Amino acid sequence: MKTLDIFTLPLSHVKKSKMRSWLTVIGIVIGVAAVVAIISIGQGLQESVQANLGNLGADLITVTPGFSRASTGFGGMGASSGNINLTDKDLNAIKQVPGVLYVNGMVSGSSDIRVGTEKTSVSVSGVDTAVWRSMVTTKLEAGRYLQPGDSNTVVIGYSLAHDTFLQQITLNRPITIGSKTFKVVGIFAKSGGFGGGDNAVYMPADQARDVITESLSRNIFNSIMVKVADQAQANKIADDIIQKLMQSRHVNTRTRDFTVTAFASIQQQISSITQAISLFLAAIAAVSLLVGAVGIANTMFMSVMERTRQIGLLKALGATDNEVMKVFIMESGLFGFVGGVIGIICGILISVLISVIGLSAVVTPQLLVFALAFSVFVGVLSGVAPARSAAKMNPVDALRFEQ
């Protein structure tokens, strides 16, 4: 049998059975479209999460008072105890840990903010202006960051500037926080809620202590932010900070009263979760392809039954078992190929529609190649058993077969 015949015989049979062929192809189309759409949504979700997590900074470590041994969350973050605080002594101890680049003692709390006649409550963060610029990861929409020597100046979040009050807060506008007046020198770009504090106000730590509702002494901090020189060593440096603070605070693993969290570990855990979700959704979509594979196998078995006399004639004319198998595998592979191409087009259209309504979906060339290759593989695999059945037929019995 000529190679060209191996290609033309399946095509001619598919053309004769158009309705059944299209019904078979539809099963593959649905499966491939589902796989492409769901994987593209999963990849879009991962990219969106990674972009937002980038605002956290993989080279940052945070130290907070209090420790919960029952916590299994990110980095073992526990609830803070009201009688436990971080002090200048802890700040100096952390600075001695190798690999630590900057240390920022932070004061946080809430206060009232007034703009004109409007008033609301706002989150206030006091920072060390000498190092804050080197540690903050959120970009500015306008203005500048806080600088050493700044007094009565603030940087505010995007939502606070644009959405909280009827009249937007602009640069250099005076606002009243607590009982003091401050000038806005910077406005953060929209952060999406990851690490940027869209509704927060940032000011020098000493002035934050004067305006926040909770009273804090000059040497007390609510948290300490640490920037490391090498983000690849962040988890190791976090462990070193734990050991250093346990020594300086005279506590052990049982009496430990502080929590150290490396943002790099948070990023890894969230990325693992989003990848697991994407794989789970893709596995669900792959079930549709299995249904399509069963449809192809059913169609091919029916095709073998209908073409028994043709198979007998081919073998009587000298066609080998291998050539007969190739004919039927080529036909099943054709179902997979056509279904894959149409399914990819449908999957891309679904992804575009999803992007239009606001969700993120990313269709990559690698995904399209994988989807097409997988659909052809499923088609070929579904045709192996019917093809073997056809190849094993005795030509004499096949020629005697009557439908």
Full 3-state SS string of 36-73: HHHHHHHHHHHHHHHHHHCCCCCCEEEEEECCCCCCCC
Quick one: pLDDT band at residue 398, thresholds 50, 70, 90? low
pLDDT in tens, 108-123: 889 999 988 889 999 9
Quick one: pLDDT band at residue 30, thresholds 50, 70, 90? confident
Structural domain harbouring 214 = 85-256
329 and 368, same domain (yes or no): yes
How far is 103 from 100, CA to CA, in rounded Å? Answer: 8
Averaged confidence pLDDT in the chain: 81
Judged against a pLDDT cut of 90, whether residue 218 lies above it is answered with: no
Higher pLDDT, 143 or 78: 143
Judged against a pLDDT cut of 60, whether residue 194 lies above it is answered with: no
314 and 221, same domain (yes or no): no
In percent, how much of the chain has pLDDT > 70? 84
187 and 227, same domain (yes or no): yes
249 and 279, same domain (yes or no): no
152 and 93, same domain (yes or no): yes
Judged against a pLDDT cut of 70, whether residue 26 lies above it is answered with: yes
Q: Pick the last residue of a domain from 256, 288, 306.
A: 256
Judged against a pLDDT cut of 60, whether residue 395 lies above it is answered with: yes
- What local confidence, expressed as pLDDT, does residue 364 receive? 86
- What local confidence, expressed as pLDDT, does residue 75 receive? 43
pTM for this prediction: 0.59
Q: Which residue has the tokens 């956290």?
A: 56
What separation, in Å, do the N-terminal and C-terminal C-alpha atoms of the chain show? 25
119 and 252, same domain (yes or no): yes
Higher pLDDT, 121 or 67: 121
229 and 109, same domain (yes or no): yes
100 and 237, same domain (yes or no): yes
242 and 286, same domain (yes or no): no
Judged against a pLDDT cut of 60, whether residue 304 lies above it is answered with: yes
16 and 132, same domain (yes or no): no
Count Cα atoms within 13 angstroms, Cβ side, for 373. Answer: 6
172 and 297, same domain (yes or no): no
How far is 124 from 169, CA to CA, in rounded Å? Answer: 16
